[in-house]
Amino acid sequence: MNQRIALDRFANLSQERVKLELEWERFVSGISERPAIRPLMYESWQRCQEQSIHPLSNRTAITLSREEIEAFWQGDSLQRILKPLLLKLKDASMDSGHLVTFCNAAGDIVHLDGDLSLMLKAEDMNFVLGSSWAENRAGTNAIGTSLVTGSPVQVFAAEHFCQEVQKWTCSAAPIRDPATRDILGVFNLTGLWRVYHPHSLSAVISARQTVESCLRNQLEQERFRLTERFSQLVSSVVGSPFLVLDRGGKVINASNMLYEQGWIDNQQNLIGAPPNVRVERAGSDRRQAADDSRFFAGRL
């Protein structure tokens, strides 16, 4: 079975929950050093202990104010892509008993929507706007653990390290910038443990794939503009070598001499810095990349 999925769809949820609670009790009490749980969860539990997360902690911290959340959405160019997807996830989650959340790259909740009664229940563990679900604050959970591993993950019941969260199940998938490979945020679905289904992980993975596909299209457009700019530079300054990099530092185009002298490898990475090179960079911000007139062009 895929280790990212907590249980298969035929599992007896009540029995699995009891088994996990016993393993958790034995682990936190020191009786068992190697619990019979998924390796992914065991590694997370170990990190929680190393970071002195208290297993009986019942409320994570609030780390963002309303004003900071508003500033996040006002300043993030992803919102045009994210908003329709979050509404789509909400429509599906209302029937399946899940809350829809989106977190920033630090694991702070910046969007929370779903059934009001479920949101009120989630307040018991401070699952609210502005709260931090980073693993080093809230223990093992899908949001925080997906950020640590960089991969989608599902967490069921007592796989959560903190006891208060063990009433819940959650599935999360981080979004990566295709240029820089930095994590930009996390899609998450959270519900009470009885509504567990592997499909919730598929849903957040699908949302992530949609966003990353849009970002790849944007990146290709940026690279096309950079290539056009390169052609203009080469034609306007005869005999002067040029180098053009995208936001992630990949070589988009370069003068032949830089390839011939071994400054660029087979993966289009710049190796070191050729002598006397001045690189004008627009920065790695997606919001600037499409319109910045400097086009990441460097001239020897």
Maximum CA pair distance of the chain? 74
Among residues 98, 195, 107, the alpha carbon closest in space to that of 146 is found at 107
- Its pTM stands at 0.86
Identify the pLDDT of residue 203.
95
Taking the C-alpha atoms of residue 32 and residue 192, their distance in angstroms, rounded to an integer, is 27
Residues of the chain predicted below pLDDT 70: 1, 234, 236-240, 273-300
How do the domains of the chain map onto residue ranges? 13-216, 237-299
**Per-position DSSP letters for 99-127, written without gaps between them:** EEEEEETTSBEEEEES-HHHHHHHGGGT-
At 229 the pLDDT is 76
Helices (H), the chain: 13-28, 39-50, 66-75, 79-96, 116-122, 135-138, 142-149, 199-236, 256-260, 286-289
The pLDDT score that the predictor gives to residue 283 is 44
Domain at 13-216, CATH class: alpha beta
Q: Residue 104: helix, strand or coil by DSSP? A: strand
